[in-house]
Structure 1
Amino acid sequence: MEDQKITTLWTHLHWLSVLAQQGSYTAAAARLGVSKAAMSQRIAELERAAKVTLVQRTTRSLRLTEAGQRLVDDTRAAFEQIEQSFAQVRDLAEQPGGLVRVTAPVALARQQLVPLLAEFLKDFPDVRIELDLSDRLSTLATEGYDLAIRHT
C-alpha cells in the first residue's frame, strides 16, 4: 500500500472530504451509502499511503489534523468542479439534443410530420432535424438515417 499510486486513492480522497463535511464517520458513511467500517478502513488506507495521520479520532468526536485539513482544502475545488461537470453531463441526458436524420415519403411528411415539427422543435430546442422527403426506399445504416418512415 505504501507505494500505491495516487490515482488509485482518488475515491479515498473524496471520502476524506465527505468526512470533513459531515463531521462524523457515521454521517459520512450514511451520505456515501457505505458502512462505518468501510469508511474507517478507507481513511486508514489513505493515512498509510500518505504516511501521516489525517484524522484525530476520539470516542466522541473527530477532527482533521493539519495535514488532513490541508489535503481537504487543496482538493475541495477539484471535487466541486468534478461534481459540477457531472451535473452538467447528467443535464444533457435529461434534455434531448443533436441531429436526427429522418427520411419519409413526400405526401406523408407534408400531411403528418411537417405540421408537428414546429411544436416539437419548440419543446426540444437542442434537437435539429434533417428531413429527407423521398418516395424511394432507403437503407437506414447505409445512408445514415436515424429514422425511416414508410407506409404501404
Structure 2
Amino acid sequence: MPETHVAWTLCETRSVLVASPDYLQRRGAPADPQALAGHDCLGYRRAGGVLSWRFEPAGGGAQVSVPTRGCFAANNSEALREAAIGGLGLAVLSDFTAQRALLDGLLVPVLPDWRPVGLFGDSLCAIRPYSPTVPKAVQVFVAWLREALKEGFPLPR
C-alpha cells in the first residue's frame, strides 16, 4: 500500500482449498498436500509468481510447499472460482470468494485439516487516501462495514 494511504481492517479472512463435487468424483480427493502433484491445480498468477502452494496443519506446525500444475490460470479469484465450479480442478480461494459456492454446494472444502498460506492476505481492509481529518460519512460507512463483517465469512466444514 502506498504511504499516501491508510488501511482500516474490517475483518479477518483466510484461504481455503476447494473443488467441485464433480471434479472430486472423477479424480478423487487428495489425502494430503503432497498428493496435489497428481491433480489439476488452478493457479492464481502474479507477475513472477511461483507455481507452488504452501500449507500448514490446521492445528499448527511446519509448513509444506507443494509444486502445482494445471490446465487453467488467472489473476482473478472469481475466474478461478468459476473454473473450479466447472470442474477444471482444485483452487485456493479467499473465504469471501468461495463462501456462496460452498454454502450452495457448488464447491466443497478439500484437505480441511490443512490451511493454505501465503496466496491471499489475512484481512479485508478499507483503504483511503491519507488526510488529517476523516469525513463523517467515511467514518460511518467504515463502522457499518465493520459491523456487517464482524463474523467474517463463515464456511461449512
TM-score (norm 2): 0.21
After TM superposition, the score normalised by the length of structure 1 is: 0.22
Larger radius of gyration: 1
Greater relative contact order, per chain length (Cα 8 Å cut-off, separation 6+): 2
